[in-house]
Amino acid sequence: MRFLLTGGTGFVGQQLTRHFLGQGHTVTTVGRSAAHPCDGEPHFQHIAADTTREGPWQDAVGRCRAVINLAGGTIFRRWTVKAKQDMRDSRILTTRHLVQALSGDPNAFLFSASGAGYYGDCGDQPLNEDTAPGNDFLARLSIDWEKEALAAEARGVRVAIGRFGVILHQTGGALPKMLPAFRMGVGGPLGNGRQWFPWIHLDDVIAAIDFLMNDQTARGPFNFCAPEPVTNRQLARGLGRALKRPSFFPAPAPLMRLLLGEFSGVLLGSQRARPERLIDGGFAFRYPTLELALKAIMQARSTA
């Protein structure tokens, strides 16, 4: 099968590219990077292009049966006016241009990323895929992002959307940025630590995308988070146990708001999300608990 990935040079995209190549598929990645780590491998092509603009790169979209849309400027930065515009354009315009270029093949599949930030700050409320969206910047961005992807349904394309929690893995993402503080013995919860932290191991992200691609009935939004959510305080304790280090030094919320501005709301907000549609569809998580995920990650880091 022919795959096309936007965001293919990113943390998730690189691993997903290797996964599909390992299965014998043909993979094309598109993004601003001039090169890709898989350059030179059989059945692989990277197209350097700005996907926020229409261009010749779109010709490759129509030749692919499955399109995985992971493009999006990082949210892990101070949210200046310029940064927020980049976050919007890299998601909304890329997705719009992808949908315009789809072939309309009734067997085509589009998987498009979104985020658990769709729900906003919901405190202790349990969240499933039918829960109403929030009203902050990240929620509105997610709503608009999903709307652009779902427009492909009018062209007969099956669309699945993954509302990602924080993805944990030894090779990248949030965890390597968190570990140094814990290793130095000064790690701890953010704010009061009571906010719920939706997380998922990268291996389960890849397996779930593969699962949805092969399930012809799968369409619409899916929460991409582990079935056993934890609070931020439980996450800090889990990291402390895994590293055999203290985990009781909190980062005060007022200081985080001062240093990080509007972005601090992402770290202090609470989404008690559960992957009800994945579970109901029969998907089996390899790492359903934080303890299992952290154990696997620490073992992988120790042998790397």
DSSP 65: S
Q: 3-state class of 79 per DSSP? A: coil
pLDDT for position 296: 93
pLDDT for position 186: 64
> Closest Cα to residue 220, out of 159, 149, 279?
159
Structural tokens at position 153: 């349904």
Total Cβ atoms within 10 A of residue 104 = 11
Predicted confidence (pLDDT) per residue in 120-141, tens digit: 999 999 999 999 999 999 999 9
pLDDT over threshold 80, residue 256: yes
Look-up: residue for tokens 């929620």? Answer: 139
How many Å is the maximal CA-CA distance in the chain? Answer: 55
Read off φ and ψ for residue 67, nearest 5 degrees. -120, 125
pLDDT for position 188: 84
Structural tokens at position 262: 């509007």
Cα–Cα distance measured from residue 130 to residue 10, given in angstroms and rounded to the nearest whole number: 29
Cα 129 to Cα 53, 67, 116, 283, distances in angstroms: 31, 22, 10, 15
Residue type at 117 in one-letter notation: G
Architecture of domain 2-170+199-227+272-288: 3-Layer(aba) Sandwich (3.40)
pLDDT for position 122: 96
Cα–Cα distance measured from residue 113 to residue 141, given in angstroms and rounded to the nearest whole number: 12
Cα–Cα distance measured from residue 196 to residue 11, given in angstroms and rounded to the nearest whole number: 24
Predicted confidence (pLDDT) per residue in 234-250, tens digit: 999 998 888 878 777 77
Look-up: residue for tokens 């190549």? Answer: 21
Residues above pLDDT 90, as percent of the chain: 77
Predicted confidence (pLDDT) per residue in 177-230, tens digit: 777 777 777 688 889 999 999 999 999 999 999 999 999 999 999 999 999 999
- Which residues are CB-contacts of 126 (< 8 A; sequence separation ≥ 6)? 272, 274
Taking a C-beta distance cutoff of 8 angstroms, is the pair 282, 297 a contact? no
> What's the pTM?
0.94
Total Cβ atoms within 10 A of residue 72 = 23
* Confidence class for position 266, pLDDT limits 50, 70, 90: confident
Angle between helices 11-22 and 202-214 (to 10 degrees): 50
Torsion-angle region of 257 (φ positive above 0: left; ψ -120 to 50: alpha; else: beta): alpha
Total Cβ atoms within 10 A of residue 299 = 12
